[in-house]
Chains A and B, each alone.
Chain A
Amino acid sequence: MRTWQFFLISLAIALAAFFGARLLGNDYLFFAGYVVLQFIVLATAWNILGGYCGYVNFGSAAFFAIGAYTTVVMTKLPAFAKRNLPEGMADLVVAMTPPAMPVLVILGGVIAGLVGLGTGYLTLRLRGVFFAIATLALAVVLQTLIVNWDFVGGSRGAYVIRPATVPLLGINYIEYLFLVMLVLVVVALTTARAIERSRLGYGFATIRDDEQAAEACGVPTLRLKLVATTLSGAFMGMAGAPFPYYIGYLEPSSAFGLAYAVNAIAMPMIGGTTSWVGPLVGAVLLGTLQQLATVTISSAISLLIVGLLLVFFVIIAPNGLIGLFNDYFRRKKPDTEEAHKVAVKTS
């Protein structure tokens, strides 16, 4: 299947899912579904760097929060401009901000991508482990910066007023956010799948398997790794950009919650890291499970389940559910071949 065919087909499936969900007419479905979709994007983004290149990013929450806070900055700009800028310029800023949701998503993506590039440039020339540690520390530092930045509310947090409806499409706002995230999922999955089948993807795989050998064969490893960190960071930022509108009130400890970092790692690990299907399967399963556990038991228990599943899967099933699935069918094959050989001998 060509990439554009894949894109159109998955877009059609996504739209069908959206209209199907509207037919049910239950707003909760959109609230819960949004979170699952957001995790699909996060997991896919993590997998571009973690699964394809083998570089672990523990700072997914930081990139997610960069996207979210970019949106907060945009919503704060009009009031700021009215107070501080001369009349004409203020009107211009008020007219332009906050921009429409797709623009916010792209902005969040660009800024998070740049941060990803910077972090990668500083740490990726060393052993991969340092990148992992640096991303962990990055989350702490960005959180410190946000806590100390009064413009976006500091540690008090910021309110973002969600409009009730979207006039252009005539649907209510949560449905709109759901739709935006759905499109983002399609874009992320298509990108991940296209990478897998391109020279870029083969380059990533050589880095994952043996970086020194790849370097020796002339693969520009540093450049490829930077492409991966930038792309991965950008998608995480995009996943975060609509979040303030979804949650209505954003504060640093929720935007930087460890839950995002854990989920972004656990979902691809449980699903399987070698192809784009893994994060999708992992995110849908874990995301739904968490929504159910949060509603029926408690959110702390649902996080505990994720953590335990992560530990369990990396020990027992190193290639995730997809790996288990493949093993099951591959084990079948040799059996039939052997049976065939036996049959040939006896005849």
Chain B
Amino acid sequence: MDFPVELLINALIAGILLGGFYAAVTVGISISFGILDIVNIAHPAFIILGSYIAYIANQRLGLDPILTSILVLPLFYYLGSLVYQVYYLSFEKRGQEALRGLAFFFGLLFVTEVLLILVFGVDYRYVHAGYIDTTLRLGFLDLPMRMVVPFVISMLLMAGLQWFLSKTFTGRAINAVAQDQLALSLQAADPIRIKRIAFAISIATAAIAGALLIIIQPVEPSVGREYIGRVFAICVLGGMGSLPGMIIAAMLLGIVESITSTFYGPSWAPAVAFGFLLITLAVRPAGLLGR
């Protein structure tokens, strides 16, 4: 049998689409961990929460998941600022963020997961929308719309965030707070407020990522855990705070995973992210485009 070139190209395209989605999942971590140095391992739990909200709205009201996620953005924003306020008062202010801050987020992750299990059970949930079951065919290329739509939305989100972070005052202040808090206060910007806004934005992106997740695959409460390895691998490989680097890293991981599951079977895919993370940490801890 000769080498299946068409299969490989399809796997590549699928990987890029998957990578685009991974970028939406990771961007929250890129802001909270990459820029603010807050190790928010509960981020995937917020994403799953977003998925379930999209599921409920879709089930009860027939709303489109992406529309739902945009509607609940303010809700997630305030949830984010609440979490940051608690985190700041209990850990950052006391200088205990290393050990106890991590344990705090881990507790949040676990509590969210158990609550979702108690309310919804461990069945897989999915949404209905017109585009989910259709597939574009270009010659031998298969482009399932359930991957293309999240890819497009994710890229729009990236463009918006990149513009916000590099052009607006608040966005630049967010970048600055990571480098020099004192200098920021001299510019009459309250570092704590800026950090709170940034963290709230990072949680708000989880609403969108959650909606994209449930479009791509059925969701159950513990799915989030599979994403922890992935998001941190992407974030580190992408060079912590850099959005363009993160997008490249996300696509790389998407391609590697897609090729692995095409040629070796999908049950091996979760191991790829970890291998990715370990190699990154061992070889190039500063990431592709270092900060």
**Interface set of A (CB-CB < 8 Å, partner B):** 50, 54, 56, 58, 122-123, 126, 128-130, 132-134, 136-138, 140-141, 143-145, 147-148, 258, 262, 265-266, 269, 273, 300-301, 303-304, 306-308, 310-311, 314-315, 318
Contact = CB atoms under 8 A, between A and B. Distances in A.
A56 B41 CA distance: 12
Nearest to A315: B90
A308 B107 CA distance: 7
Main secondary structure of the interface of A (DSSP, over half): helix
A204 to B, nearest CB: 13
A109 B153 CA distance: 48
B94 A136 contact: no
Interface string B97-113: 01110111011101101
Given A134-B274, A144-B268, A308-B111, 12 more contacts: A56-B102, A130-B285, A132-B39, A133-B39, A138-B274, A140-B274, A145-B271, A148-B267, A265-B106, A307-B114, A314-B90, A315-B104
Nearest to A266: B107
A102 to B, nearest CB: 33
Interface centre among A122, A123, A129 (most CB of B within 10 A): A129
A141 B228 CA distance: 12
B222 interface: yes
A118 to B, nearest CB: 10
B80 to A, nearest CB: 17
Interface residues of B, number: 43
Interface of B: 39, 41, 86, 90-91, 94, 96, 98-100, 102-104, 106-108, 110-111, 113-115, 117-118, 222, 225-226, 228-229, 232-233, 236, 267-268, 270-271, 273-275, 277-278, 281-282, 285
A144 B108 contact: no
B111 A304 contact: yes
A269 B285 CA distance: 30
A101 B87 CA distance: 45
Contacts, number: 121
Overall SS of chain B's interface: helix
Nearest to B233: A137
B111 A134 contact: no
Contact of A300 (B117, B268, B273): B117
Given A54-B99, A269-B103, A129 B270 contact: no
B114 A133 contact: no
A227 B73 CA distance: 46
Contacts of A54: 98-99
Identify which of A58, A122, A133 gathers the most chain B CB atoms within 10 Å of its CB: A133
Given A133-B41, A258-B113, A269-B103, A140 B118 contact: no
Please provide the 4 A-B residue pairs with the shortest distance between their CB atoms, ordered closest to farther.
A137-B229, A311-B107, A307-B111, A141-B274
Nearest to B112: A307
Given A126-B285, A140-B229, A311 B111 contact: yes
Which among A269, A304, A311 has the highest number of chain B CB atoms within 10 Å?
Answer: A311
A307 B113 CA distance: 10
Nearest to A131: B281
A273 B115 CA distance: 27
